[in-house]
Every structure is written in structure tokens, then in C-alpha cells.
Chains A and B, each alone.
Chain A
Amino acid sequence: MWSYEKRLQFPVNIKEPNAKLAQVILTQYGGPDGELGASMRYISQRYSMPYNEVAAILTDIGTEELAHLEMVSTIVHQLTRNLTMEEIEESGFANYYVDHTVGIWPMAAGGIPFNSCEFQSKGDAITDLHEDMAAEQKARSTYDNILRLVRDYPDVYEPIKFLRAREIVHYQRFGEALRIVQDRLDSKNFYAFNPEFDRCKS
């Protein structure tokens, strides 16, 4: 069950359209380290997770990622509204425009459509939490790359900076979740059994 709040997690107020920036930022919507993959990763991993605290952090971070998805979509939307045909033709945005006009559709900056291979749900607590920690770092790197490209656009820079900072906090929380899991496993061999599958360690 989810409920919606009709507001953004962090304000986005972009005045000038810029199709070039929209094309690269779109990758954090539907690209390999984007927010769609992030939210689906954590929300999917919850069901076979046997530890309540870990299911809690997957739920709450997965939910926050949906709010980030909305922020990234808003940035792309505000960068593409009121574009002229000349701007679309000259910025290289025509390839996106021909299929989606200025609607929001999940794909990577290089044009590859979103698919669920962007994330993993392995059904193994240690494996999944390592995936989650790596995912947060990959998203942080992507935001760092975007920040270099938008350094002269404060309206875009500020919300991207906020999103980048959240990746670091989430990395920390997943590290704590991994510790919670390991504390409940056999300290001589963390891989003796998979707590999401094996019924007992024998």
C-alpha cells in the first residue's frame, strides 16, 4: 500500500528550457543507475528478506526513490517545456522528440530503453545488499558527472546536489543493513547458508 503527497521532496523551479541538459538528466530516470531501477530494486528485494529491519530499510529507501523519480521527471519536464522547433532540431533532441514529443519516457542518455536488467533481485541477503550499496555509489558517480555538466545552471544544480547527497546516506544505511544480516549469520562462514532460501543452517 502506498499513499501520495502532492509535493516534491526538494523544490524544482527551472525557468529556461534546455534540451541538451534534459537528455543527459533523463538517464537518472530510466538509465542503468537511475531512480526507476533504484526504486524497483529495493521494493522487489523486500519479499524474501527474512529480517524485519532490513525489509524496513528496503521499503523506506525504495519509497524515497519514488520521490526522487518524481524530482528527476520534473527536472526533465521543466527543461523540455516550451521548447521551440529550432531548439529541438539544433540540440540533438529530435531523436527523442520523434517518439515521445516532450513526454517523459524511461531510457538512458545513450537512447537504450529501461529494462529490468538494470537491477538485480538475487534472493540472497548478502548479494542483494552488496548490489544496493554499489547501486548507491553508481548513482552518486552519475550525479557527480551531471553536476559537472550543469555547473552554470543553479536551478538545475541545486536539486541534483540534493539527490547526490541522498545516495551517500542510503549507502550508509545499506551498509548498516549488511552488518545486521552478518551479525545473524555464522561468523566463521557467512555463506554457510542463504537466509532467504535455506531453512536451517546444517
Chain B
Amino acid sequence: MNNNMMNSERERLYRDIGIIDFVVVEMTEYLDTHPTDKEAMEYLNHYVRMKNQAMREYAMKYGPLRISDADGCNQNEWKWATQDWPWNGGC
């Protein structure tokens, strides 16, 4: 796989994680003030599962975005530290 293809695939997964997590944040805050809304809870659970799966896949392919996924990485180096940080366009 050439570098460009790998970058665009990586960027797509990173963008997906941002979109999925937005739903997680929004639904978490909604549920705080509507704690008996069952439909909302199921909706949140669905997106939490999607997020965990995407975060896991990202960690496996490119390095962890959170320490709880670090065990899913087959890497020879600690990419958490060596890769770019978000404010410098890292993903």
C-alpha cells in the first residue's frame, strides 16, 4: 500500500471516530437530564459500541488514541509518544 492510500484511509477512520464520538457526547449530556429515556439509552449504547470498535481498529492499525486501547497495538515503539499531537495535525 502506498503512503497516500494509507493516509487517506487513516484520515477517514479518524474522521469517523470524531463523528461517532460527537453522538456519544451529545447523548451522554441529554441522558444526564433525561435519565429514564430508554430509547435514548439504546441509541447511546449503539454509538458507544461503534466508537469502541473504531478506536480499537485505529489503535491496531496506526497507534492508540487512548491508553485503554494500547494493548491492541502490535508496534515496536510507543506511538502514543512518538506520533504528532492533535494541535499539530496529528491523527
Contact = CB atoms under 8 A, between A and B. Distances in A.
A53 B29 CA distance: 10
Given A53-B33, A64-B29, A173-B32, A6 B80 contact: yes
Contacts of B85: 6
B86 to A, nearest CB: 5
Contact of A176 (B14, B18, B28, B33): B33
A91 B90 CA distance: 28
B29 A8 contact: no
A84 interface: no
A156 interface: no
Nearest to B89: A13
Contacts of A187: none
B87 A77 contact: yes
A147 interface: no
Contacts of B2: none
A104 B65 CA distance: 23
A192 interface: no
A11 B29 contact: no
Interface in A52-104: 53, 56-57, 60-61, 64, 70, 73-74, 77-78
Nearest to A10: B18
Interface in A2-25: 3-13
B15 interface: yes
Contacts of B34: 176
Contacts, number: 66
Interface residues of A, number: 28
A77 B88 CA distance: 9
B67 A3 contact: yes
Contact of B32 (A11, A13, A60, A78): A60
A173 B33 contact: yes
A193 to B, nearest CB: 23
A77 B85 CA distance: 12
**Best-surrounded residue of A3, A5, A12, A169 (most CB of chain B within 10 A):** A5
B17 interface: yes
A72 B85 CA distance: 15
B66 interface: yes
11 contacts: A4-B66, A6-B90, A7-B18, A7-B65, A8-B18, A8-B86, A9-B21, A9-B22, A169-B26, A177-B33, A180-B33
Interface of B: 14-15, 17-18, 21-22, 25-26, 28-30, 32-35, 64-68, 80, 85-87, 89-91
Interface of A: 3-13, 53, 56-57, 60-61, 64, 70, 73-74, 77-78, 169-170, 173, 176-177, 180
